[in-house]
Amino acid sequence: MSKFEDAINVILVHEGGWVDNPADPGGETQMGWSTSTIRKLGLTPRDLGLDQDEFTPGCLKAVTQATCIRLYRQYFWDKYHYQLLADQVVATKIFDCSVNCGPGRAATMAQKAAAACGQQIAVDGSLGPKSCAAVNAVPAQTFVHAMADQMRSYYNGLVAARPSLAVFKSNWLKRAAWGE
């Protein structure tokens, strides 16, 4: 069984600290928690440990690492049951993809990767027990490589569709290669 405590360290390294890059459609971001994700989840500044009722420019700088870790556990790891993934690197890879690309997209990529490795699996964007069993049936390194291919394809497609995102491509491709 994989562990959140081992996976979160990779996420924090990949995400870094506070960023407000005008090219990022997610907006201001703290340790991977973008303004768009925060709003999509309906979180308030108080949910993030901030002593204010409205979001203001730069306020995410004050969100602590402990808060970000708590939110990652609640809104990603536990919600999508990544602990059902037997191999730690596989679980971390899918979790990391989920944080960067969105949980549904990460689930779809994981299902396509498992299918590319010979598993009979429905590609429905929901990583439930059957999908986790299919992923677990693939040798870990084989799956990680197939997942990395899915991520590279996605990132390259993003840049092709929106050339302004090319500024992120190098880091995205490094992220895709993690674990290979």
**pLDDT tens across 58-83, in order?**
999 999 999 999 999 999 999 999 99
pLDDT at residue 103, as a whole number: 96
| Cβ atoms of residues 50 and 64 within 8 Å | no
pLDDT at residue 45, as a whole number: 97
pLDDT at residue 26, as a whole number: 87
pLDDT at residue 14, as a whole number: 96
Cβ atoms < 10 Å from Cβ of 139: 11
- Specify the 3-state DSSP secondary structure of 118: coil
| Cβ atoms of residues 159 and 169 within 8 Å | yes
* Residue 127 clears pLDDT 90, i.e. is over it: yes
Confidence grade of residue 8 (pLDDT, cut at 50, 70, 90)? very high
Instruction: State percent of the chain over pLDDT 70.
Output: 100
| Cβ atoms of residues 94 and 110 within 8 Å | yes
Dist CA 22 CA 34 (whole Å): 13
**pLDDT tens across 74-124, in order?**
999 999 999 999 999 999 999 999 999 999 999 999 999 999 999 999 999
* Residue 1 clears pLDDT 90, i.e. is over it: no
All domains of the chain, ordered by start, with CATH? Answer: 4-177 (1.20.141.10)
Cα-atom radius of gyration of the chain, to the nearest Å? 16
Place of tokens 């689930």: 107
* Residue 25 clears pLDDT 90, i.e. is over it: no
| Across 37-59, average pLDDT | 95
